[in-house]
Amino acid sequence: MRALFSGAGVAAGYGERMVFDDLTFTLAPGRFYGLLGPNGAGKTTLIDLLLANLAPRSGEVLFRGLPLGSYRRAALALEIALVPQEFRLNFDFTVREVVMMGRHPHLPRFASPGERDRLLVDQALVELGIADLQDRLVTRLSGGEQQRVVVARALAQDTPVLMLDEATSSLDIRHSLHILGTLKRRCQEAEGERTIIAAIHDLNLAAAYCDEILLLDQGRLLIKGPPAEVLRPETIRRVFAVDCQSFAAPGSGAYQLAYRYQ
């Protein structure tokens, strides 16, 4: 199977600060990937590289076998959607109008949304549980509600790749579970045609929903693989300086960690 994304010998950073100096990775299509690591490990930097928002200083990032930098922005908008960590919109758009913005890359210039666009927006509003908010102004919503709106916008964009930069960090656990469950279901139902790449702060949420984990530390990819192989207690101790034990969650059997609290 051809790699969806790959990188070899990638060096990247911001200004004088280098984050990666020799990053090599391969991501296959149809998987739910979790990007984990301590603060400053390089999770957001890797997302910026995969979005072509940051160009490598050396090495190369490929998307579908071609240099990522060779794609036009309009073409990438049909392939990749982003849910950022923070979302600020200071204009009085309704929730539905913001979610419909996800359809703009698919519309010819000056064209109005069609039936398919409206159906995809309706689906995203229902899936995120915000259909009852669709006529509200986004500026009148709470931060958590706004974050669910921007997730719905990305779902309505209906791209093969969806990236999230710690997009659930400001949400309560119920809505975090709802969003990650929705993404997992969409990934599975697409039968290999949809890939999720998410920087996640909570190790247990990542272990419960991700097919594979990329564990980053100090600008290095330490290990990549299934949660039970990556998130071993000895690895957690080395990377996060935290003692823990692993167990299978009752009911789901998901790999989970129990921390020793000091």
pLDDT reported for residue 87: 76
pLDDT reported for residue 167: 86
Distances (CA, A) of 257 to 206, 244, 247: 11, 6, 6
Distances (CA, A) of 252 to 96, 247, 248, 255, 257: 35, 11, 8, 9, 14
d(CA 97, CA 80): 20
Low-confidence ranges of the chain (pLDDT < 70): 1, 262
pLDDT reported for residue 91: 82
pLDDT digits (tens, 9 = 90+) for 145-184: 999 999 999 999 999 999 999 888 888 999 999 999 999 9
Distances (CA, A) of 258 to 38, 176, 203, 208: 18, 19, 10, 13
Quote the pTM value. Answer: 0.95
- C-alpha dihedral, 134 to 138 to 140 to 141, nearest 10°: 80
pLDDT reported for residue 1: 63
Residues linked to residue 197 through DSSP beta bridges, in sequence order: 33, 163
d(CA 232, CA 47): 24
